[in-house]
Amino acid sequence: MSALHSLQTAAVSIRSVRKVYGDPQTGPVALKHVDLDIRDNEFFTLLGPSGCGKTTLLRMIAGFEFPSAGEILLYGENIADRPPYERPVNTVFQHYALFPHMSIAENLAFGLESHPMGKRLGKTAITQRVSEMLALVQMERFADRRPSQLSGGQQQRVALARALAPHPKVLLLDEPLSALDLKLRQAMREELKSIQAKTGITFIFVTHDQEEALTMSDRIAVLAEGQVQQVGRPSDIYEQPNNRFVADFIGETNFLPAQVETLADDHALLRITGGQLMRAAGREGLHQGAQVTLSIRPERLQLVAPDSPETTPCTLVEQIYLGTDLQYQVSLADGSHLRVRTPNRAGQNQSFVPGQRLGLQFDRESASVLLD
Amino acid sequence: MNSRPIAPGSALERRRALGSLLGVSPALLAIGLFLLVPILIIAAYSLMQANPYGGVDQVFSSEAYTSLLFERQLDDSLAFTDSYLIIALRSVGIATATTLITLLIGFPVAVWLAMQPIRRRGLLIFLITIPFWANLLIRTYAWILLLRGTGVINNSLLGLGLIQQPLPLLYNDGAVLLGLVYTYAPFVVLPIYATLEKMDMRLLEAAQDLYAGRLRTLRKVVLPIARPGILAGAILTFVPCLGAMIAPELLGGGTKLMLGNLIFRQFSDARNWPFGAALALVLMAAVMLVLMFYAMRTERLRVAREGK
């Protein structure tokens, strides 16, 4: 597929999709109004807290639920009204949903045999595809086992292979790693990413785990309360959050009240409590003198000796040892608390005690202006 | 918890073994008293001579078993007779038909039940068990009131002018079948429901996601998973149907005998207790052989599939 083509046609387009359960006027609204374009060959993540509508959206792409309004286009074709078995998309379910009465190989063959194409394919081709898929997830040795004889991680791989076997145009993954333990989860992240690269299939991944989203995705859509809050690359989402929700949900942050001092073409200068000036990317709707909220990440703050130039005086409240990092809580003159985080390096950061007066240094370029 | 290893043969181990034996003794006692002893009595009776006034004379005789297949002629020679074999075959036929029909009715009902929201299921299961509250004899008499020539159904149809003559609904094989299906349908619904209730409903979504339509999902996912329940229901229907007595007697008019009626008559009108006992034992042995054969075959299949 040419680059031009992939620019023109999104793999999946969600157009003005709305989902209301029960009565269209009074029923609970799962999705208010969602517009999204998911590109061809992209690892796209729907990220949000539980109840944000991300799973509903995924289930609508799969065909288990139908939108109350709007269109779902798969490579330009509206599939919103088609049953799941007529959509060339496959799902990796949260709890795997492997068929307990079939062997691993039979599980993998199921989709191929059910597919209209399967009858033309023939037995040998199906067997070959099954071994190909087993090799992809390194489960060749387990072909004749039953799902109940496998560990959670192994079942996960089988579920992935089963969904990939019929060559879906888009693969949907519904929190597939949430049932695994931490180490396995981290290993599977890398593996999922590499399998996506190898197969070239568009992945749509649902998770509530922001770390998972940041490490794996090409792009992320952050959802809350049935609406898309922000769409962007992981670094956009983390460093330029649109609003308070996104800033707070992705990683840790500090909220600082500030006043717009000067507006330039591409940036704004803002004065925060304590008199320091911060520089942030401009936004529509800003005007001189406006009161706004800034988000600034804890790792972009530094604790230095008090009365250093260009610092804000603060008092250390608490110090928390996190292993990889040290986290401090400091209070400013106006009583607000901020979090500061520094990497845990030998011989540093050890000398502070709670109650100590310190200087807080801001990384000037690292604040972002929130819309609300 | 005491987790220290116990030396084999030690006093403590022997006491534990005795304790666990005591623990299961009520079960052993019940099996012995209510299963083994009656069967032994039946076996003993089947090997004695019939007393023409009922009961048995305590004289050894294998006459009961001989008369299953042979008739004693006037000159005391034996001639083959197939009359009991025909009754047995008819019983198997009616039991098979009943089992198939109850499965056809019971399976969809069980699937539907398993799909209901959990809150409603309790009530529905309760409704299915309601027939058990009334005695089977009374329920079967109720069918007579419905089916007979001047019964509810015929009177309604006549009243509506749909028919001119009452339909012959009662005293035929159809009425027997109806009565048996009615009696055993709940025994099919409940075990199938029990297996489906445990099924992960997401498997249905997984099947549809993998391009299986409704029919293929039913055939490849629901039916195999419900298999143990279907088999349990089939056995719970087929076995008692073989020996069923009330429905054939009341609804069949007692003209075409089934094994249950045949056995019953040996102990009542015919006053041939040894023959009744022999019939009962042979029926039980046949059923047990079939079930054992089946159990062994499924075990072999399971071992072949899963190992161990």
pLDDT of residue A352 exceeding 60 = yes
Task: Note whether A85 contacts B205, CB cutoff 8 Å.
Answer: no
Higher pLDDT, B103 or A307: B103
CA of A124, closest CA in chain B: separation in Å? 19
Do A235 and A328 lie in one domain? The reply is no
Q: Which of B233, B239, B195, B220 is nearest to B105 (CA)?
A: B233
Do A127 and A69 lie in one domain? The reply is yes
pLDDT of residue B191 exceeding 90 = yes
Do A150 and A187 lie in one domain? The reply is yes
Tell whether the torsion through CA atoms of A120, A121, A123 and A124 is positive or negative.
Answer: positive
Tokens standing for residue B298: 């499924």
> Which range has highest mean pLDDT (A186-190, A358-362, B23-27)?
A186-190
| Closest CB from B208, B220, B224 relative to A84 | B208
Task: Note whether B306 contacts A116, CB cutoff 8 Å.
Answer: no
Residue B307, pLDDT score: 54
Whether B219 has its CB under 8 Å from any CB of chain A: the answer is no
Do A230 and A295 lie in one domain? The reply is no
Q: What is the CATH number of the domain that holds A19?
A: 3.40.50.300
Do A257 and A237 lie in one domain? The reply is no
Pairing between β-strand A368-370 and β-strand A291-296 as defined by DSSP bridges: antiparallel
Do A49 and A110 lie in one domain? The reply is yes
Whether B198 has its CB under 8 Å from any CB of chain A: the answer is no
> By CB neighbour count within 10 A (0-12 exposed, 13-18 middle, 19+ buried), where does A22 fall?
exposed
Alpha carbon distance, N-terminus to C-terminus of chain A: 41
Question: Minimal Cα distance from A115: which residue of B?
Answer: B211
For chain A, how many structural domains are there in total? 2
Q: For residue A5, what pLDDT band results from cuts at 50, 70 and 90?
A: very low
Of A189, A211, A244, which residue is a domain's last?
Answer: A244
> By CB neighbour count within 10 A (0-12 exposed, 13-18 middle, 19+ buried), where does B164 fall?
exposed
d(CA B305, CA B288): 25
Question: Minimal Cα distance from A60: which residue of B?
Answer: B209
Go through A24-49 and write b for each residue having 16 or more CB atoms within 10 A of its CB, e for each that does not: eeeeebbbeebebbbebebbbbbbbe
User: What's the whole-number mean pLDDT along residues A311-322?
Assistant: 87
Cβ-Cβ contacts under 8 Å between A and B: the total is 72
Q: Which long-range contacts (CB under 8 A, 24 or more apart) does B240-244 make?
A: B240/B184, B241/B91, B241/B94, B241/B95, B241/B98, B241/B99, B241/B180, B241/B184, B242/B91, B242/B92, B242/B95, B242/B283, B242/B287, B243/B91, B243/B280, B243/B283, B244/B95, B244/B180, B244/B183
Question: Minimal Cα distance from A163: which residue of B?
Answer: B210
Question: Minimal Cα distance from B208: which residue of A?
Answer: A85
CA distances from A297 to A247, A336, B18 (A): 9, 15, 70
DSSP annotation of B51 reads P
- Domains of chain B (ranges; CATH) run 11-80 (no CATH), 83-271 (1.10.3720.10)
Whether B200 has its CB under 8 Å from any CB of chain A: the answer is yes
Higher pLDDT, B21 or A246: A246
d(CA B137, CA A263): 94
pLDDT of residue A239 exceeding 50 = yes
Residue B135, pLDDT score: 87
> By CB neighbour count within 10 A (0-12 exposed, 13-18 middle, 19+ buried), where does B276 fall?
buried
Pairing between β-strand A29-38 and β-strand A12-20 as defined by DSSP bridges: antiparallel
User: What's the whole-number mean pLDDT along residues B170-184?
Assistant: 89
Q: For residue B149, what pLDDT band results from cuts at 50, 70 and 90?
A: confident
d(CA A15, CA A9): 14
* Per-residue pLDDT tens over the stretch B230-261: 999 999 999 999 888 888 888 887 777 888 88
Residue A350, pLDDT score: 59
Check: CB of residue A220 under 8 Å from CB of residue A231: yes
Check: CB of residue B78 under 8 Å from CB of residue B72: yes
Higher pLDDT, B97 or A181: B97
Residue A349, pLDDT score: 54
Average pLDDT, chain B: 86
Integer Rg of chain A from CA: 25
d(CA B27, CA B23): 9
Integer Rg of chain B from CA: 25
**Which residues of A are less than 8 Å from B215 in CB distance?**
none
| Closest CB from A89, A146, A166 relative to B306 | A146
Of A244, A267, A302, which residue is a domain's last?
Answer: A244
**Which residues of B are less than 8 Å from A63 in CB distance?**
208-209
Residue A372, pLDDT score: 65
Q: Which residues contact A305 (CB under 8 A, 6 or more apart)?
A: A358, A359
Q: Which of A343, A342, A344, A340 is nearest to A330 (CA)?
A: A340
Check: CB of residue A260 under 8 Å from CB of residue A240: no
Task: Note whether B208 contacts A93, CB cutoff 8 Å.
Answer: no
Percentage of residues in chain B having pLDDT higher than 90? 33
Task: Note whether B211 contacts A114, CB cutoff 8 Å.
Answer: yes
pLDDT of residue A272 exceeding 60 = yes
CA of B219, closest CA in chain A: separation in Å? 12
Of A226, A244, A262, which residue is a domain's last?
Answer: A244
- Provide the CA A366 distance to its chain's centre, in angstroms: 21
| Closest CB from B212, B224, B305 relative to A114 | B212
Tell whether the torsion through CA atoms of B123, B124, B128 and B134 is positive or negative.
Answer: positive
Residue B1, pLDDT score: 44
Do A223 and A304 lie in one domain? The reply is no
pLDDT of residue A276 exceeding 80 = no
Residue B9, pLDDT score: 65
Do A199 and A263 lie in one domain? The reply is no
Task: Note whether A97 contacts B225, CB cutoff 8 Å.
Answer: no
| Closest CB from A64, A90, A116 relative to B210 | A90
Residue A1, pLDDT score: 40
Task: Note whether A97 contacts B221, CB cutoff 8 Å.
Answer: no
Whether B225 has its CB under 8 Å from any CB of chain A: the answer is yes
User: What's the whole-number mean pLDDT along residues B150-167?
Assistant: 85
Residues of A with CB under 8 A from a CB of B: 62-64, 83-86, 89-91, 93, 95, 97-101, 103, 110-111, 114-116, 118, 146, 149, 162-163, 166
Q: For residue B53, what pLDDT band results from cuts at 50, 70 and 90?
A: confident
Question: Minimal Cα distance from B211: which residue of A?
Answer: A85
Lowest mean pLDDT across A1-5, A91-95, A212-216, B28-32:
A1-5
| Closest CB from B202, B207, B212 relative to A95 | B202
Residue A84, pLDDT score: 94
d(CA B98, CA B75): 43
> Which range has highest mean pLDDT (B8-17, B94-103, B172-181)?
B94-103
Question: Within chain B, how many helices (H) and strands (E) appear?
Answer: 14, 4
CA of A101, closest CA in chain B: separation in Å? 7
User: What's the whole-number mean pLDDT along residues B190-214?
Assistant: 92
Q: Which of A91, A90, A114 is nearest to A102 (CA)?
A: A114
Residue B4, pLDDT score: 57
Q: For residue B306, what pLDDT band results from cuts at 50, 70 and 90?
A: low
DSSP B90-122: HHHHHHHHHHHHHHHHHHHHHHHHHHS-HHHHH
User: What's the whole-number mean pLDDT along residues A137-150?
Assistant: 92
Q: What is the CATH number of the domain that holds A342?
A: 2.40.50.140
Whether B215 has its CB under 8 Å from any CB of chain A: the answer is no
Tokens standing for residue B47: 């090997």
Do A207 and A310 lie in one domain? The reply is no
Find the helix packing angle between A152-164 and A104-114, rounded to 10°.
Answer: 20
> Which range has highest mean pLDDT (A6-10, B132-136, B280-284)?
B280-284
d(CA A100, CA A148): 7
| Closest CB from A85, A99, A118 relative to B203 | A99
Task: Note whether B202 contacts A114, CB cutoff 8 Å.
Answer: no
Whether B210 has its CB under 8 Å from any CB of chain A: the answer is yes
Do A240 and A257 lie in one domain? The reply is no
Average pLDDT, chain A: 88
d(CA A90, CA A97): 13
DSSP annotation of B253 reads T
Find the domain containing A151 and state its range: 3-244
Q: For residue A72, what pLDDT band results from cuts at 50, 70 and 90?
A: very high
Residue A3, pLDDT score: 45
Q: Which residues contact B74 (CB under 8 A, 6 or more apart)?
A: none
Do A265 and A197 lie in one domain? The reply is no
| Closest CB from A63, A97, A115 relative to B206 | A97
> Which range has highest mean pLDDT (A160-164, A365-369, B171-175)?
A160-164
Find the helix packing angle between B273-306 and B223-242, rounded to 10°.
Answer: 170
CA distances from A302 to A49, A206, A251, A293 (A): 31, 35, 18, 20
User: What's the whole-number mean pLDDT along residues B195-210?
Assistant: 92
Q: For residue A219, what pLDDT band results from cuts at 50, 70 and 90?
A: very high
Do A274 and A191 lie in one domain? The reply is no
Q: Which residues contact B174 (CB under 8 A, 6 or more apart)?
A: none
Q: For residue A165, what pLDDT band results from cuts at 50, 70 and 90?
A: very high
> Helix, strand or coil for residue B221?
helix
* Per-residue pLDDT tens over the stretch B28-37: 899 889 999 9
